[in-house]
Amino acid sequence: MTGTYEKPQTDARSLSQDEQEALRIRGVELVLEGQSKAAVAKELGVGRRQVHRWMERYDEGGWEALSKRRRGRSLGSQVVLSAQQQQRLITMIKNNRPDELGIPGSQWTYEAARDLIEREYGWRPARTTAGHYLRLWGFPRTY
């Protein structure tokens, strides 16, 4: 019977990013070797539409387009502080130790950055948000 939908055997979203990348590459290789998208989908346990998307990505960007990518929101999206406020904080952090600015501690930490943001702008970010800002500003992950 043609045109019937066959449910994928596994949910590829549960695979690691490396496994997903390998699956995409193998799928495209099989199509390029002459197998139909439907046959590849069945062999790999994914939906036919997914194989079609892989081929579109490959056609537009080659093998590089199949590689794993950063997940989640892009760094810098949904920031609360304006660019001017951020630049002011960056300058303060680069040019001073926390204790020089009246904040406890001799090294910059997530907590010290949170204290500075709260003191300067009346908003205390979550620890993860402070870490997000510090990474966005190019500071090392050791904070």
Query: What single string gives the DSSP state of each residue in 82-115?
Result: -HHHHHHHHHHHHH--GGGGT-S-SS--HHHHHH
| pLDDT 10s digits, 121-130 | 999 999 988 8
Q: Which residue has the tokens 């908003």?
A: 123
Q: What mean pLDDT do residues 93-108 have?
A: 94
pLDDT in tens, 45-89: 999 999 999 999 999 999 999 998 766 656 555 678 888 999 999
Residues 6+ apart with CB under 8 A from 70: none
- Residue bearing tokens 């990348």: 21
**Quick check: pTM over 0.85?**
no
Residue showing tokens 């002011």: 88
How far apart CA 84 and CA 81 sit, in angstroms, is 8
- How many Cα atoms are found within 13 Å in the side-chain-facing hemisphere of 56? 6
Numbered ranges of CATH 1.10.10 in the chain:
12-66
- CA pair distance 118, 125, nearest whole angstrom: 8
CATH of domain 12-66: 1.10.10
